[in-house]
Amino acid sequence: MTGAFLAFSLIILSQKAEVPSSNALRPEDFKLRSANRLLPLVEEAVAIVNRVLATDIPVRLTTPGAEIGRPGVATVPVLLVRPDGARFSDSTVALATPEFRAIVVGETGFENFTHAVSDQRGYTASIASRDLLAFVLMHELGHILAGHRGAFWDSQTVDRDRLNLDASLDKTHEEEADAFVAAQMNGALADTGDFDRWMTTMRVSIALSELSFNLAAIRRVECFGCSVLRDIALFWDRADSHPNFEYRVLQLNHRIQNNQTSKSLLEEFETVRRLPHGASSPIVANP
Ligand SMILES: [Zn+2]
């Protein structure tokens, strides 16, 4: 997704003039098309996030028409939509808007994303979709609570001119949203007095581990014998708006797992990422 498209997508979510109570929001309020095929999955992921969230976080996710939670707890609706060509891309996984405190999930975008990171290629594990979606929703909720907009997409195209390692405000926002996920998950994993919450969080943590393994496996296989220029596309940031996705996942995974494997995966990635432009890649020499 280009920066312009991203900005346009976020403007869509700003076009709503009158704000009904958050639980009454529908995709049509944003002139988006409702989807329902993955609704059971969304409901499961919403329940997972609500189970993981610390009790002192005064907000819970909800799906349209669901019972509003207990008094004093704000709700953030999760709306499931289908792509409509121009306005909502089939690679948009999720958008978050702090103005309306809503998260929009792209049905096709999420399916394309799960397929891209855990398909049946033989060298990648299948990742539980509900746990993967719970991670995405928690990340978007982190954006909303911090007051910034968020967009999560399956970035399939590489614009070589935009590859960079530069800091930006948007990238900082991504790191803040991931830090929210890590804080919530680490808090739940330390809460051994609530076994159900611990187990629910452990499953999301396993999904994140598998995601980090899969991204590394996909990169290794697809990068076998590839050129140095192609390496940079894999290791650098693809736009100003988001840090490299694999790098983000490896960092988040290590913040939660904090073991030798998560450390090695992260360090291997950082070693190549820091190589001077044009240096030969150890990935090629050591596939
Ligand atoms: Zn984000």
Residue 71 burial by Cβ neighbours in a 10 Å radius (0-12, 13-18, 19+): exposed
Tell me which amino acid residue 266 is.
L
The model carries a pTM of 0.86
Q: Ligand 1 centre and the CA of 287: distance in Å?
A: 31
Domain count for the chain, please give it: 1
Q: Ligand 1 centre and the CA of 153: distance in Å?
A: 9
Q: Ligand 1 centre and the CA of 123: distance in Å?
A: 27
Distance CA 181, CA 53 (A): 9
Distance CA 175, CA 170 (A): 9
Q: Ligand 1 centre and the CA of 159: distance in Å?
A: 20
Task: Using alpha carbons only, give the angle 200, 59, 29 rounded to the nearest 5 degrees.
Answer: 110
Write out the chain in H/E/C secondary structure.
CCHHHHHHHHHHCCCCCCCCCHHHCCHHHHCCEECCCCHHHHHHHHHHHHHHCCCCCCEEEECCCCCCCCCCCEEEEEEEEECCCCCCCCCEEEEEECCCCEEEEEHHHHHHHHHHHHCCCCCCCCCCHHHHHHHHHHHHHHHHHHCCCEEEECCCCCCHHHCECCCCHHHHHHHHHHHHHHHHHHHHHHCCCCHHHHHHHHHHHHHHHHHHHHHHHHHHHHCCCCCHHHHHHHHCECCCCCCCHHHHHHHHHHHHHCCHHHHHHHHHHHHHHCCCCCCCCHHHHCC
Q: Ligand 1 centre and the CA of 222: distance in Å?
A: 26
Please give the pLDDT value at position 216: 85
Q: Ligand 1 centre and the CA of 96: distance in Å?
A: 8
Please give the pLDDT value at position 217: 87
Please give the pLDDT value at position 23: 58
pLDDT tens for the chain, 287 residues long, are: 444 444 445 544 554 434 445 556 788 888 889 999 999 999 999 999 999 999 889 899 998 766 655 667 788 999 999 988 766 788 889 999 877 789 999 999 999 999 989 876 788 888 999 999 999 999 999 999 999 888 887 665 678 788 888 888 888 999 999 999 999 999 999 998 999 999 999 999 999 999 999 988 888 887 665 555 557 778 888 887 888 899 999 999 999 999 999 999 999 889 888 877 654 444 443 33
Give the structural domain span for 147: 3-285
